[in-house]
């Protein structure tokens, strides 16, 4: 499977714990995006990278959230001191920057904070 891969698929954690998710994009894609999706809502943009540079961050990305893409390939999204309101599906997408980018989405990581 050469699509966007996200791990883990599910994560259950206790409030206050830190969690980290990983996204492996389609290999030739230089852009990588993180979204959050809650029940009944569409994906909400969090941040995106072009190669290793983080180019845009949403105001939804509080200081407890940090994302990295150290070598311009895979990316990690870390949430520190998780809160119940962080429970959501975290989606990753990748694209090739052409000015007419088409994003390809992974299956997501579902986070449940107890």
| The one among 11, 43, 88, 113 contacting another protein by CB under 8 A | 43
Q: Does 24 bind another protein (CB under 8 A)?
A: no
Cα–Cα distance measured from residue 68 to residue 74, given in angstroms and rounded to the nearest whole number: 9
Q: Does 42 bind another protein (CB under 8 A)?
A: yes
For tokens 């290793």, name the residue.
Answer: 52
Cα–Cα distance measured from residue 52 to residue 60, given in angstroms and rounded to the nearest whole number: 21
Q: Does 32 bind another protein (CB under 8 A)?
A: no
Q: Does 101 bind another protein (CB under 8 A)?
A: yes
The H or E element that residue 47 is part of is strand 44-50
Q: Segment near another protein (CB under 8 A), from 22-30, 34-42, 62-70, 71-79? A: 34-42
């Amino acid at each position: 499977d050469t699509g966007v891969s996200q791990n883990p698929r599910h994560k259950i954690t206790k409030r206050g714990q830190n969690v980290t998710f990983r996204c492996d994009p389609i290999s030739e894609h230089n852009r990588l995006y993180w979204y959050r999706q809650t029940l009944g809502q569409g994906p909400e943009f969090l941040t995106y990278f072009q190669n290793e540079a983080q180019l845009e961050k949403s105001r939804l990305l509080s200081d407890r959230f940090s994302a990295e893409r150290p070598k311009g390939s895979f990316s990690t999204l870390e949430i520190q001191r998780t809160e119940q309101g962080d429970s959501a599906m975290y989606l990753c997408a990748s694209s090739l920057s052409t000015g007419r980018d088409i994003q390809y989405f992974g299956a997501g990581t579902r986070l449940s904070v107890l």
